[in-house]
Structure 1
Amino acid sequence: MSQKSRSDRKQVMNNTPETIAVATTPRGEVSLRERSDDDGSVVHELVVAGVFAMDSADTSTETALAQRSLERVAAPTRVLIGGLGLGFTAWQTLKDRRVRDLHVVELEEDLVQWARLGLTPTLGVLARHPRVTLHVQDAVSAVTGDDEPAGPWDLVLLDVDNGPSFLVHEDNERLYCAATLSRLLSQVTKGGALTIWAAQREPALLATLAGLAPTEEVVLPVERQGRPFEYALYIARP
């Protein structure tokens, strides 16, 4: 793993992304990049195995993942988030004072380390927050109860890749099969919810979840670089 000092990073003054931390993992390279937006604000980008994962320029759907799910659960005391990313879903979740115990599982150990080093403001806040525990863990093992942290959970939020049609890691395919989703839902308390984020509408995922529990599809229209997209949330209520 390599990273640049804060003094070096102050030199980033244009729209060209500069890599501030990079790590080689068994699943490919993970890099954290920084650039200036048109208004001069600093934008962070996360690239995983050569695939653009997310940036901080538009965090509306990461925020919506938390907001739309929390408003459907009466008592979201214990929450599990699969996928740390740049931390915006977790940060939005923490704004709800009903959440007393938030666990975030992230496969890439280097990304968790970058959070503990405070390489971005949001990640740094999460790493220090008393209601947050970060785990270096495979999300599938965690959410199905095969490994720590242990359920049950009032709310589970999954944002581990771009959905079953556009996997960041091929191994994530097992997350979306009926057997895994059924085990996952068994870890959710009555009155709770499981929400899965996807970078496009996923009819097959909707059908699979609907066969296991009442499920709602929430379409999130967004525009990136002048192009319209439809992201989606799949909210299952066991």
Structure 2
Amino acid sequence: METIERRDTPRGELVLRRDEQADRYEIISNGTFLMDTSDGRSERLLVTEALAAGEPPRRLLIGGLGVGFSLAQAVADERLTEITVLEREPVVVEWQRAHLSRFSGDALADPRVTVVVDDLVRWLHAEAPADRYDAVCLDIDNGPQWTVVPGNAALYDVAGLTAVRATLAPGGTLAVWSAAAVPAFEATLGGLFHDVRVLPVEVSRGEPDVVYLARRGR
């Protein structure tokens, strides 16, 4: 595995690595595996299910750029007129443009896409527009119980999810990616949203990935 770049951030170290033989890239955060380019099925499902769950969507918010699988799925939907991506780490945006654009289909060049470099938790409480998005897709951690940094835990509690719900248009859909099932998180969703669903996605090793879907009431 070749290290392409190592970058220090206010939240610690991010590393981009490449397995040239497998044609696979991965991003490591503070020594912990975060994401790679080997599959992407669950990231694409995150978007397709969120966009299929409610009224015909026009505006989508994606929390976390990652390696670009979710964004690639979003730009493929011609119904969308506005796609906003919240990404906390500027270097992840740089890596997408310099090394990973083929995994997103060069989606950052789509005129519908706006990238906001900011902390999602802070942005939701301070700047997020109300009743704006038809769907919100969150993929910034390995799951509600396995966060990249401790501050991200505030996204998955009642206050954080209430802030997310406020950005959704009535009847809009929230989709959350997780590396494993988290029953307590499902229960929290059930207290704030309607029609909570859990979609497992089998992986080659370990527990299935999970996509949580929940709808805001009208």
What does 1:1-238 align with in structure 2 at a 5 Å threshold? 17-38=1-22, 42-122=23-103, 125-142=106-123, 144-147=124-127, 152-214=132-194, 215-223=196-204, 227-238=205-216
Q: 2:72–2:105: 8 Å Cα contact kept in structure 1? A: no
Q: 1:45–1:55: 8 Å Cα contact kept in structure 2? A: yes
Separation in 1, partners of 2:159, 2:208: 27
Q: 2:130–2:166: 8 Å Cα contact kept in structure 1? A: no
TM-score, length-normalised on structure 2?
0.91
Q: Please give the per-residue CA displacement for 1:88-126, whole angstroms capped at 9, x wherever unaligned.
A: 101111111111110111111111122343554235712
Q: 1:156–1:195: 8 Å Cα contact kept in structure 2? A: yes
Letter of the structure 2 residue corresponding to residue 136 of structure 1? V
3-state secondary structure, aligned to 1:222: coil
**Structure 1 position 37, deviation (Å):** 4.4
Q: 2:133–2:169: 8 Å Cα contact kept in structure 1? A: yes
Higher relative contact order (CA 8 A, sep 6+): 2
Q: 1:34–1:45: 8 Å Cα contact kept in structure 2? A: yes
Q: 1:103–1:149: 8 Å Cα contact kept in structure 2? A: no
Closer/same/farther in 2, CA of residues 53 and 175 from structure 1, 3 Å limit: same
**Structure 1 position 209, deviation (Å):** 0.6
TM-score, length-normalised on structure 1?
0.84
Separation in 1, partners of 2:163, 2:139: 18
Aligned pairs, how many?
215
List alignment gaps of at least 5 residues for structure 1: 1-16
Closer/same/farther in 2, CA of residues 237 and 70 from structure 1, 3 Å limit: same
Structure with max Cα Rg: 1
Deviant stretches of 4+, over 4 Å: 148-151
Separation in 2, partners of 1:137, 1:124: 23
Identity %: 37
3-state secondary structure, aligned to 1:211: helix
Letter of the structure 1 residue corresponding to residue 155 of structure 2? L
